[in-house]
Chain A
Amino acid sequence: MADTNPIKQFEIHEVFPFEAFGLNLAFTNSSYFMMLTAVLTIGLFTIAMSSRALVPNRAQSVAEIIYGFVADMVRSSAGQEGLRFFPFVFTLFIFILVANMLGMFPYFPAPGAHSFTVTSHLIVTVAMALLVWLTVVVYGVYKNGAKFLRLFVPSGVPWPLLFIVTPIEIISFISRPISHSVRLFANMLAGHILLKVFAGFVVGLAAWTVGMEWGPIPGYIFGIAPFAMTLGLTALEFLVAFLQAYVFAVLTCIYLNDALHPGH
C-alpha cells in the first residue's frame, strides 16, 4: 500500500557515509539528485549539440531555444554587459529547472525509493541565493568602488525623502537572499506537500469507505475527486517547477544589473 506520509518525500537517506573536517558529508539521496541533475544536463546538452547542424534537429532546437531564452533574459534584465554573467545565470536556471523536474517523478530509482526535489531544502536555495548576493556585492564593489553605494541613494528622489528611502533600500538589499531563497524553497515544498496530501486522500478515502455500500455505488468512488485534484495539481506543479526556475534566474539578472549599473 502506498505511503501517504506527505513529509516522507523530503527525507534524506545516507548512501555512502563520508566525514571530513568533523562534518557529516555523507553522499545522500539529495547528493544523488544533484549529481543526476548535473549529469543529465551535461549529457542531454552534449547529445543535443553533437551534430551542430546548420538546420537543427529537434533536440538541438530545444538546446538552442533554452540558450536563447536565457540569453534574452540576461540581456533584457542586465543589459549587454550582463552577458558576462550568462554562464552563471544559465547554470542556475538549468540546475533549478532540471532539479525541479526530477522532483516531479512520483517514484524514481533512487535511494529511499522516492523522488527528491533538491530545491525543496532551504539550505540548497539559501546557498544559491547567497552565491548570487555575494556575487552582486563583490562584483559591484570591484567594478564601481564606492559608487556602488549609490545603489542605496536612488537618483531623482528629493533629499528629505532619502532619510526614509535609503534605510528601506538597505533593508531590501540585505533581505534579498532571504526572499530569493525562500520563494523557491517554499514553492517547491508547499506544492509537493499539497500534491502528496491530495494523492493520499485518494487512497485514504477509498480505504475509509471500503465496506460502506450505497446501493450499487462502491465506496471507492470517493477517490475520484481527490484523484482529479491531484491530476490538476500535477499540471500546476510542472508550471511552478518551470516558473520558479525562471523567477530565480530573472531575479538573479535583476540583482546583477544593480552590480553593473548602480544608481538607478
Chain B
Amino acid sequence: MTHAPHSEVAQHVADAAADHADSGVFPPFDPTYFASQLFWLTIFFVILYVALDRFILPKIKTTIEDRRDRIADDLDAAAQAKADAEAAGEAYEKSLAEARTKAHVIAADTRKALDAEIAKETAGVEAELATKQETAEAAIRKAKEKAFSEVRGIATTATSAAVAALAGVDVSEADAGKAVDGLLKAKEA
C-alpha cells in the first residue's frame, strides 16, 4: 500500500512525459490533428444540421403551431358558444314577454266575456223578478179590491142591522149601501 502510490505516480509522470515527447506542443495548438478535426467536424455538423433542419425543427414548429391554432380555434368556439347562449337568452326573454302579453290579453278577454254573461244573466233574472212582482202586485190588488167589496157588503148589512136594532127602522139594502159608499168616499178623500 505504501509503495504502490509512489510507483503509480512515477508511472504517470513517465506517461505524461512520453505523451509530451510525442508532440512536444500544447494539445490545442498541435496541428497534427487539425485536418482530422475539421474533417469530422464537417461530417457531424452537417449530419446534425440536416437532421435538425429537415426533421426535428419542422416537427417542433408544427407542434407549436398546431397548439397555437388549436387554442385560437377553441377560443373562437368558446366566443361563438357564448354568443349563441346570449342569443338563446334573448330569445327566451322575448318569448317570455310575448307569453306574458298574450296571457294578459286572454285574461282581459275572459273577464269581458264573463262580465257580459253576468250582465245578461242578471238582466234575465231581473226581468223575471219584475214579471213575478207585477203578477204578485196584480194578485194583491185584486185581493184588496175583493176584500174592499166584501167589506162594503158586510158594512151595508151591518149598517142596516144596526139601524134596525137601534132605530127600529128598516132600511133597504140599497139605502144602506148608498150611505156606506158615501162614508167610504169621504174616508178615501
Contacts and interface: CB of A to CB of B under 8 A. Distances in A.
Nearest to A63: B60
A121 B167 CA distance: 182
B124 to A, nearest CB: 82
Residue among B26, B34, B37, B61 with most chain A CB within 10 A? B37
Interface string B56-87: 11011111101100100000000000000000
Contact of B30 (A12, A86, A120): A12
B33 to A, nearest CB: 5
A52 B44 contact: no
A28 B37 CA distance: 8
A91 B32 contact: no
Interface residues of A, number: 52
Residue among B12, B44, B57 with most chain A CB within 10 A? B44
A261 B35 CA distance: 35
B38 A91 contact: no
B33 A42 contact: no
A207 B5 contact: yes
A38 B29 contact: no
B84 to A, nearest CB: 25
A94 interface: yes
Contacts of B56: 42, 45-46, 49
B-side binding surface: helix, strand, loop or mixed? Answer: helix
Interface in A1-37: 1, 3, 5, 7-8, 10-12, 18, 23-28, 30-31, 34-35, 37
Contacts of A118: 41
A91 B36 contact: no
Nearest to A186: B28
Interface of A: 1, 3, 5, 7-8, 10-12, 18, 23-28, 30-31, 34-35, 37-38, 41-42, 45-46, 49, 52, 54, 56, 60, 63-64, 67-68, 86-88, 90-91, 94-95, 118, 120-124, 127-128, 185, 189, 207
Given A12-B32, A25-B40, A128-B45, 13 more contacts: A3-B16, A5-B12, A12-B30, A25-B36, A26-B36, A28-B33, A28-B37, A30-B37, A52-B59, A64-B60, A64-B63, A124-B41, A127-B41
Interface of B: 5, 8-9, 12, 16, 19, 26-30, 32-42, 44-45, 47-49, 51-53, 55-57, 59-64, 66-67, 70
